[in-house]
């Protein structure tokens, strides 16, 4: 049996994942530059990363993270990046609250064809009520209903991908036969939320199904992950006990859905601050934190908690907010648990949230960073990590040039790509449709 290998993805925000990362010397200060995005993708491939991951939202708040104020539509961006990269997976967020299954199935099938089998869809239900105002709605559906819709939405998308078998396009010039009609069928889906006839109007894509990414931390979100996801982008706060419980709990849910636990990779988000010494790394983090103000991340912190904090004193205790909100519950639960455990003020919580938007921040030498990642990986609290550099390109180059070689020396991470598709990177077989399975 081959040794378990760590997976690495990069979460790409052109201005850096830290809210003030763009202020670092020589740091990129925009997300709307193809040259910037191509540079980041090149660094990721040099580091043999599994995945380049672009998040998205369909609302703009001037007080939000700089990369959220000004951003590319991700499918357009990834299609362009696919022709200037060769191996790295290309993941994009598309919301089930403001899309139609046919459009999503067709878009990701197209990206998978264009990229040669490297597409991944990050399924979200959206958490911003303001986004609804851009789609002729007053507000989002309530939290659990959004996940009920998302579950059916994902089933329809996967069903549409399965309306074609491999080899349906014959294109036989002597006989004039272009299509083997026995290998294409309608979907004829009629459900609670969607009615979709099908079939899709593009042939089966190289991976069969593009990978599905999911990040929901609430019980409905965990169920969707266990049932449908190939990769889970999780939220951790550095507490090993809670991370292990969450990891084991999700793997158990996966098994209950009749799936192999190793077929769902759990990758927490982590922001590594790397220095030649632990003190230098600590000083860099302190400098980044010194650029935060009481306004440049206020909206973000309120979003993560699911509660408006603008009326509370920053140096007072964290209010006893309920963790369950109509917004994203994973961040709210993780942050509030940490605040109560460590007796934080609202300013303490604000500083942590503003740094990495609620994700885990670690700092130290390359060896110390590798030690932490190895401990979490070998302790089965994670199957890898979504790396969230504080700024680009240097913070990402430091990880690729200093931490990745250390992980490789320890035999934890690949030295080269073993295949050409994203499924190859994650050790997943090409997805085949039901008729193919029956005839196999």
Q: pLDDT per residue over 330-378, tens digit each?
A: 666 667 777 777 777 777 777 777 777 778 999 999 999 999 999 999 9
Q: Mind listing the pLDDT tens digit for each residue in 111-140? A: 999 999 999 999 999 878 889 999 999 999
Per-residue confidence band for 167, with pLDDT thresholds at 50, 70 and 90: very high
Kindly give the residue spans of alpha helices, DSSP state H, lying in 193-239: 219-228
Alpha-carbon distance of 131 to 70, in angstroms, equals 15
Question: Cα separation of 347 and 364, whole Å?
Answer: 23
Q: Helix, strand, or coil here: 352?
A: helix
Q: Name the band, by pLDDT with cuts 50, 70 and 90, for residue 437.
A: very low
Q: Determine the average pLDDT of the residues in 159-184.
A: 98
pLDDT band (50, 70, 90) for residue 440: very low
Q: What is the overall mean pLDDT for the chain?
A: 90
Residue 165: pLDDT band (50, 70, 90) is very high
pLDDT in tens, 270-313: 999 999 999 999 999 999 988 887 665 566 667 667 777 777 77
What is the pLDDT, as a whole number, of residue 439?
Answer: 32
- C-beta separation of 156 from 196 below 8 A: yes
Write the secondary structure of 102-135 as one string of H (helix), E (strand) and C (coil): HHHHHHHHHHHHHHCCCEEEEEECCCCHHHHHHH
Peptide bond into 294 cis (omega under 30): no
Greatest distance between any 2 Cα atoms in the chain: 80
The DSSP code for 18 is S
Mean pLDDT of the 34-59 span = 97
% of the chain with per-residue pLDDT over 90: 74
Q: Which domains does the chain have, with CATH numbers?
A: 7-277+359-439 (3.20.20.30)
- Residue 255: its H or E element: helix 240-256
Residue pair 371/340 in contact (Cβ under 8 Å)? The answer is no
pLDDT, tens digit (0-9, with 9 covering 90-100), for 138-152: 999 998 999 999 999
Whole-number pLDDT of residue 236? 83
Tell me the pLDDT band of 435, cut-offs 50, 70 and 90.
very low
In this prediction, residue 320 carries a pLDDT of 76
Mean pLDDT of 191-198: 98
- Beta strand pairing call for 211-214 and 231-234: parallel
């Amino acid at each position: 049996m081959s040794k378990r290998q760590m997976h690495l993805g990069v979460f790409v925000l052109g201005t850096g994942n830290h809210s003030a990362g763009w202020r670092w010397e020589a740091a990129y200060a925009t997300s709307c530059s193809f040259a910037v995005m191509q540079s980041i993708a090149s660094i990721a491939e040099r580091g043999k990363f599994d995945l380049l991951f672009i998040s998205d939202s369909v609302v703009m708040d001037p007080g939000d993270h700089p990369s959220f104020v000004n951003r590319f539509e991700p499918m357009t961006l990834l299609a362009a990046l696919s022709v200037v990269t060769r191996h790295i997976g290309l993941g994009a967020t598309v919301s089930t609250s403001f899309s139609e299954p046919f459009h999503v199935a067709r878009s990701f099938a197209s990206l998978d064809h264009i990229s040669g089998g490297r597409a991944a869809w990050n399924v979200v239900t959206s958490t911003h009520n303001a986004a609804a105002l851009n789609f002729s709605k007053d507000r989002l559906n309530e939290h659990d209903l959004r996940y009920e819709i998302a579950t059916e939405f994902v089933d329809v998308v996967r069903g549409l991908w399965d309306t074609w078998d491999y080899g349906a396009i014959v294109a036989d010039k002597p006989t004039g036969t272009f299509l083997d009609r026995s290998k294409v069928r309608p979907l004829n889906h009629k459900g609670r939320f969607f009615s979709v006839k099908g079939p899709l109007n593009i042939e089966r894509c190289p991976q069969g199904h593009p990978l599905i990414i999911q990040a929901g931390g609430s019980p409905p979100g965990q169920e969707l992950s266990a049932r449908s996801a190939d990769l889970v982008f999780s939220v951790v706060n550095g507490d090993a006990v809670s991370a292990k419980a969450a990891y084991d709990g999700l793997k158990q849910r996966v098994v209950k859905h009749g799936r192999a636990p190793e077929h769902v990779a759990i990758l927490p988000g982590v922001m590594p601050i790397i220095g030649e010494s632990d003190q230098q790394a600590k000083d860099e983090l302190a400098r980044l934190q010194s650029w935060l103000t009481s306004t440049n991340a206020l909206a973000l912190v309120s979003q993560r908690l699911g509660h408006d904090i603008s009326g509370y004193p920053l140096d007072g205790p964290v209010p006893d907010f309920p963790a369950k909100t109509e917004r994203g519950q994973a961040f709210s639960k993780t942050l509030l648990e940490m605040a109560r455990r460590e007796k934080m003020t609202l300013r303490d919580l604000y500083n942590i949230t503003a740094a990495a938007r609620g994700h885990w921040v670690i700092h130290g030498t390359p060896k110390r960073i590798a030690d932490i990642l190895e401990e979490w990986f070998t302790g089965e609290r994670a199957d890898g990590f979504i790396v969230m550099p504080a700024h680009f390109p240097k913070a990402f180059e430091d990880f690729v040039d200093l931490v990745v070689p250390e992980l490789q020396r320890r035999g934890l991470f690949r030295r080269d790509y073993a295949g050409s598709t994203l499924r190859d990177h994650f050790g997943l077989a090409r997805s085949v449709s039901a008729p193919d399975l029956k005839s196999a």
